[in-house]
Amino acid sequence: MNDVHLADLVTFSNGRSHPAEGPGYRAYGANGVIGTSAGHNAAPGSTIIGRVGSYCGVVHYSDDRCWVTDNAIIATPKKGVNPRYVYYLLKRLDLNRYRIGSGQPLLTHGLLNRLTTRRMTRSEQDSAASALGALDDKIAANARIAGLADELIRARYRELSAAASASARLADLGSLVRSNVPAEHIARDENYIALEHMPKRHMWLSAWTDASAVTSAKRRFQPGDVLFGRLRPYFHKVGLAFVDGIASTDILVVRPKAPAYRGWLLAALSSDDVVAHASALGDGTRMPRAKWPDIAAHKIPWDATQADHFNDVVASLAGRVKAATTESRTLAAVRDALLPTLIP
């Protein structure tokens, strides 16, 4: 027999709601890490599967113990099965296509247990997981570089802000780009950034897609523009664009008034202070939206004598992160191309 049921390889269990608060373990929801928890309910080497909603079937892997919420399913490998092979197998199966329901898509244990795949020996599992894992490990290393660069810039900006003796309005450093473009003038292969592509409290925009599914007007942006998520600004989605393209109209495109202002503008717009200010003044209760005039009028600490040097630091780190982003996108494409070959 060449095929095997997933039930023979994996034990599926639901996550649990309301993780205990604390910094000890990562907490996973339907689409990856959502915070931390004081406890854990999943063992090292677990695969987390989005169970309900728009992220139904999305898979993530955790090397460490973690907490998984009830929006996700925990896939625990059975004895003798390579844990990382399980993750790549479930990724290759494209589980979203097996969901049930339309208004609220859902995956169930019974459905997953009945799926079949080609039987692979442990040595074959190890070989496939090693090759694919090496690519993902490098992608993860690049992500850590980006995270450290983000932390360094925030820390340096806080130091300079504390020592600054002057202030400036955000409007003095940047201006709003109002380059709206109708859907019929957008090429299918243009880069497209929506709010879901913007990570929370992370100033590098390393994810985007093509515009093939775009059906409404968008805003054009250029490399070096700062994009500010105006819808529910408390989600803290602010970052530097590495490419040109189009953005959702729920994103403000802010361009530095001088190249030397870019670093300070980026750090300021992505700071907790400015995001809190935008959140406090957003229009609407259920779906608040920040307005550029309110953000532009906000005063921030300013040190003209330090701005050039700070911008050089930001530009150097941004260049490193951009190179890592390009490499990671290439590695991800190679991984995705290899996946069906190594795990047929």
153 and 291 part of one domain: yes
Span 200-222, average pLDDT: 95
Pick from 252, 148, 265: which is nearest to 198 by CA?
252
Judge contact between 23 and 82, C-beta under 8 A: no
pLDDT at 141: 97
Share of the chain above pLDDT 90, in %: 86
Tell me the mean pLDDT in the region 140-149. Answer: 96
pLDDT of residue 85: 98
Domain match, 159 and 68 both: no
Query: Is residue 56 domain-shared with residue 196, that is, in the same domain?
Result: no
The residue-averaged pLDDT of 88-100 equals: 92
Q: What is the pLDDT of residues 71-87, one digit of tens each?
A: 999 999 999 999 999 99
Q: Could you tell me the CATH number of the domain that includes residue 96?
A: 3.90.220.20
Do 298 and 158 share a structural domain? yes
The reply to whether 129 falls in a domain is: no
330 domain-assigned: no
Domain shared by 170 and 86, yes or no: no
Which residues on adjacent β-strands are paired with residue 33? 28
Q: Distance between CA atoms of 250 and 35, rounded to whole angstroms?
A: 25
Q: What is the mean pLDDT of the chain?
A: 94
pLDDT over threshold 80, residue 285 = no
Q: Are residues 166 and 110 in the same domain?
A: no
Asked if residues 34 and 23 have their Cβ atoms less than 8 Å apart, the reply is no
Buried/exposed 53-77: b ≥16 CB within 10 Å, e otherwise: eebbbbbbbbeebbbbbebbbbbbb
The Cα–Cα gap between 95 and 209 comes to: 21
- 18, two tokens: 């309301």
Instruction: Count the domains in the chain.
Output: 2
Mean pLDDT of 171-190: 94
The whole-number pLDDT of residue 24 equals: 87
pTM reported for the whole predicted model: 0.87
151 with 78, same domain?
no
Do 99 and 160 lie in one domain? The reply is: no
CB 291 within 8 A of CB 266: no
Q: Print the domain residue range for 261.
A: 146-307
Distances from the Cα of 198 to the Cα of 129, 161, 208, 236, angstroms:
29, 26, 9, 9
Judgement on whether residues 150 and 278 belong to the same structural domain of the protein: yes
64 and 195, same domain (yes or no): no
pLDDT confidence tier of residue 145, bands split at 50, 70 and 90: very high
Q: Is residue 335 part of a domain?
A: no
- In the predicted structure, residue 18 carries a pLDDT above the cut 80: no
192: its two tokens: 């497209």
The whole-number pLDDT of residue 226 equals 98
Residue 154 covered by a domain: yes
Please count the residues of the chain.
344
Return the sign of the alpha-carbon dihedral for residues 93, 337, 243, 240: positive
Q: Is the pLDDT of residue 17 over 90?
A: no
Looking at the structure, tell me whether residues 291 and 185 fall in a common domain. Answer: yes
Is 312 a domain residue? no
Domain assignment present for residue 232? The answer is yes
Residue 156 vs residue 53, higher pLDDT = 156
Same domain for 174 and 89: no
pLDDT at residue 252 above 80?
yes
Residue 101 confidence (pLDDT): 77
| Predicted local confidence at residue 328, as pLDDT | 97
Q: What is the rounded CA–CA span in Å between residue 286 and residue 183?
A: 27
pLDDT in tens, 183-208: 999 999 999 999 999 999 999 999 99
Residue 343 lies in a domain: no
Residue 112 has pLDDT above 70, yes or no: yes
Distance CA 222, CA 242 (A): 8
- In one-letter notation, the amino acid at residue 27 is A
CA 205/CA 325 separation, integer angstroms: 9
- Residue 266: inside a domain: yes
Asked if residue 8 has pLDDT above 70, the reply is: yes
Residue 1 has pLDDT above 70, yes or no: no
pLDDT digit string, tens, across residues 290-313? 999 999 999 999 999 999 999 999
**What tens digit of pLDDT does each residue of 22-59 get?**
888 999 988 888 888 999 999 999 999 999 888 899 99
